[in-house]
Structure formats: structure tokens, C-alpha cells
Structure 1
Amino acid sequence: MEFLTRRQFLATSSVSMGTLTGCSYLDGTSQVTLGGISLVNTISKVREFHVTVKCNGERIHQSSHEVEPPLDGKNNTMKTIAPDVPENQYPIVVSGRIGNQQRTVDLNRDQFDGQCMIPTFIFEKYEGSLGTTVFATETLDDPPAVIKCDKK
């Protein structure tokens, strides 16, 4: 289990645009890599996240993951997964769900071109809602070990 301080999370999320490993555009004009998917729990009980990855409209990954509550005064607990994604598939759409709340990250955007991205789903304790952000791995001082991109 990885921990990300609130300060690290906020600092990183302000510059969090990029791409994800394995899926890329066939026409060569844009390339996105799905490096991994991060799940963040900020509340005092275990949360179960349901994750779906689609490439070219076809579901290529679906899984569920329990993320433990923060411990020892930490602001959150983060778990990062790295699903296998076939190459030369596009666009990449990643969905995260907790209960009846679902959020979707569409990586088919020019600002993600050529980057390795980590979509992140965050269950916020203050609003009790599921939110999203996207991190470019190059902006992370300490990228998760499981990501499928070149590390600094």
C-alpha cells in the first residue's frame, strides 16, 4: 500500500495531464500510454473500487480492488494497479466506480499525446463522493513501482 500526503497529492494534481501504457492511435498522430490506475481512499473504512478499461470501445479489463483506510495519521491510502492493455488500440477510456457513483477518464485528448498517464480515482471523505484526476508519470517525484512506463 502506498501513501501520498495531501500536499504531494495537491502539488501533483495541478500538473496532472499525460498518457497511459499500451493503447495508441493507429494513424500515428497521437500516442497515449496507460501507465497504471491509482485508487485513493481518504475515509476511515475500506472502500471497494471497480475499474473498467476500454480500448476502441471494447472492454479489455475489469477488476475490483479493496483499498484500506488511511493509517497512522495519513490523509489517504493509495493502491496502483497496472492492467495489461493491448498495443495499437484507441481511444482509451478508464472508468472507476464505488457503489452507485461512477467517473470516467477519456484519454483521447491532444493534451495527453506522447505521455504516460495514470488516471486516479479518489473517494473524498469530506463530500463522500468519487472524484478523478490524471497524473503524467513524468510529473511524479516517486512514481508507483507497478507502472508500465519508463521511470525517471
Structure 2
Amino acid sequence: MKILQSIVLLIGHLAIIVAANSTGNAVALNQSSVSITTNAEGGQIQSTTVSIDRADLSQPHILRVQGSNNDVPIRMARIQVKINGKVVKTIANNSLELNLAPMMQSGRYEVEISGVSPRLEDTISVNFAGKNTNVTQQFAGAGKIEQVLVINVR
């Protein structure tokens, strides 16, 4: 059994995830970049870009969206998940778990999580995890949520 330990190196807006296996050999798993922009209404849009290998799609790649208030799950309303502009899921409770692997082949996929967070003390977490990939984004506070995960499958 191989044990992987990972380190995330942040260089500007570029994150390089490096893992070491049980023999101590370093292996670059993937690269991701993060950008934060402002939309026309003055709200923030957080975008993360990650590249994954098509062969890795044989394993589940799970998108998780969860709301919490001081680590207590909250009910989320009016939050949608879109892939390349098409709504694939609307969140009706306090979390969502969706395997994106069957929906992807080679190419570029823009996964948008959008909606409204009504209270300042609420936190919305978005996690995308699969073989050699683990990316997390968070939004805290009241207002419009716009989290974008760009997945480049090569």
C-alpha cells in the first residue's frame, strides 16, 4: 500500500499540488490556479482552474457543496450547479454530492455554483475531489454566491 502526503505550494495565483509516496519520491499531481474578480453588481466571483487526466475519470470525481454556520449544517436555498451553462442540480437541503466523472470527457468544463447566502454568519464550501485532485473554495457572508470551477480534462 502506498501512502501519499501532499503539500500545496502557492505561487501568486498558481497552486501546485505535490505529493510524496511512501518511498519519498515527489510526484506532481496537478496544477490549479485561483482568481477572484468582481462582477457588474460588485460581488466577488471566485474561480479555480484545475487540470486532470482523462484516464483519472475512471474513478469518481465528487463535487460537494455544503452550507454551515459555526460548523452546524444549514439549509441552503436557491443554489444551482451548472456545467457549461446547463443546470445539472439545484440544492434543496444542506448539502450536495455529485459525481462529475460520468459527465466529462476530454475538453474544458466550467462548473458554476451560484445562488444567494442570506446571512452574514453562513459559510458555503465547495470541494472537488477525485484521483490526484482535491480543490476547495469557500464563500462566507450574505450576498450573491458565484463560485466557478474550471476543469480541463486532457
**Structure (1 or 2) with the greater helix fraction:** 1
TM over 0.5: no
The alignment's TM-score, normalised by the length of structure 1, stands at: 0.37
The alignment's TM-score, normalised by the length of structure 2, stands at: 0.36
The higher radius of gyration belongs to 2
**Structure (1 or 2) with the greater strand fraction:** 2
Larger relative CO (CA 8 A, sep 6+): 1 or 2?
Answer: 1
